[in-house]
Structure 1
Amino acid sequence: MNIPNQITISRILLIPIFMIFLLIDFNWGSLGILGAEVPVSHFIAAIIFIVAAGTDWLDGYYARKYNLVTNMGKFLDPLADKLLITAAFVGLVGLDMFPAWAAVVILSREFAVTGLRLVASGSGEVIAASIWGKWKTVSQIVAAAAVLLHNPVFALAGIPFDLIMIYTAVILTVFSGVDYFIKNKHVLTSAE
């Protein structure tokens, strides 16, 4: 297994650690971070989440730079992204920090596109991430991080940056999902 795929797997392995700090109240108090009161456990969860999300860029950069792009990587990378995002949004919904409707829309799109990829793989085709899919992922990561950190910086000015990013993530998620299905409709028509 090459280094980019190992980096991707490290992202998957960070998910349970992230969930422990997100969901267990360790009563370690809170931190004042640029206008936001953040429980220490949420701060640690946010750092783990941001590091895990950062590995998405790192594995892709390394794979392209050293020509180590593999079909396994093309499969594992979006899977790791979906697992991380799913864990974050389900955990945040469980803590009543993220709107359930937004999580359902986002996760429904993720399952639908994963299904499309599975159908395509049955005929030997790999559907790589599009630019809209990448922007969708970035918006979801920023939304989750803003919520995890209780809207730092913007809390000082009273700007609901976390809410703005949730809506941005939902819009980009829906748009990119529609884009995948339009560009790859041949996969579904040839599978009949």
Structure 2
Amino acid sequence: MTTPPADRRVWTIPNIVSFARLIILLPLVAVFILRDELWWAIGALAVLGATDWIDGYLARRLDQVTLLGTRLDPLADRLAIVVVTLGLVVIDLLPWEVLGVILGVDLTLTVVALIWFRGSPDVPVSRIGKWRTAALLVGLPVLLVAAAADLEWLRIVGLVLLWSGVAGHVLAGVGYVLAMARRRPVAT
């Protein structure tokens, strides 16, 4: 039995952390939000955010960077944003339009990648993509804290961050479609 190449491994410590984030922590955050147990949701979301940093750190530190990990990490971020946004929409802390824009961009990128590349186009994350993810991943918890502590000023800060992230999401999406168009295989 041969060992798969390092980048093709599945069961590495960082990947297990990523799987735990998706399978355990993300549903836990959703349940707490839907039960209106916002402080518990904030705590679970903090752990979720920490595991996002931990899996990347471990991958580099243990030399366990894998193809699965490089694809799983952004997927986990996207799912976390969608799940938390959906939860906040369901409990009336956000309007449906926020979720619609986020899902619309994500769905468009997925369809374009599937049609043009039959999967991942391996387009690197752009600066605006990183900025947008940061704005969304900070704005959503800020909105949760604002709701839990009943702080209107913090809610405004959270909404500014969130809408900035949503605008960045649209801009990043356009940039990714253009990057995919440049890398698109030429039909013969």
Alpha-carbon deviation of 1:62? 2.2
Figure out how many residues of one structure are paired with residues of the other and give that number: 177
Encode CA deviations 1:137-177: one digit per residue, 9 max, x unaligned: 11111111011112689947677101111211111111111
Counterpart for residue 104 of structure 1: 100
- What's the secondary structure of 1:184's corresponding residue? helix
Contact 1:19–1:87 (Cα < 8 Å) also in 2: yes
Q: Among residues 159, 169, 184, which one is paired with 2:180 in the alignment?
A: 184
Contact 2:26–2:80 (Cα < 8 Å) also in 1: yes
Contact 1:154–1:161 (Cα < 8 Å) also in 2: no
Counterpart for residue 23 of structure 1: 34
Give the TM-score taking structure 2 as reference length.
Answer: 0.80
Instruction: Give 1:31-50 correspondences, 5 Å limit.
Output: 41-50=37-46
Q: RCO (CA 8 Å, sep 6+): is it higher in 1 or 2?
A: 1
Q: Which amino acid aligns with 1:19?
A: A
What runs of 5+ residues in structure 1 fail to find an aligned partner?
Answer: 26-40
Counterpart for residue 10 of structure 1: 20
Greater fraction of residues in strand: 1
Instruction: Give 1:13-162 correspondences, 5 Å limit.
Output: 13=23, 14-25=25-36, 41-119=37-115, 122=118, 125-150=121-146, 155=151, 160-162=156-158
Percent of aligned positions with the same letter in both sequences?
A: 31
- The answer as to 2:168 corresponding to 1:172 is yes
Provide the C-alpha distance between the structure 2 equivalents of 1:122 and 1:112, rounded to a whole number of angstroms: 14
Q: Which amino acid aligns with 1:8?
A: S
Counterpart for residue 8 of structure 2: none
Contact 2:105–2:170 (Cα < 8 Å) also in 1: yes
Distance 1:120 1:19, change over 3 A: same
Alpha-carbon deviation of 1:115? 3.5
Provide the C-alpha distance between the structure 1 equivalents of 2:46 and 2:153, rounded to a whole number of angstroms: 24
Distance 1:109 1:21, change over 3 A: same
What runs of 5+ residues in structure 2 fail to find an aligned partner?
Answer: 1-10
Q: CA RMSD in A?
A: 2.8
Counterpart for residue 29 of structure 1: none
Give the TM-score taking structure 1 as reference length.
Answer: 0.79
Contact 1:117–1:127 (Cα < 8 Å) also in 2: no
- What's the secondary structure of 2:146's corresponding residue? coil
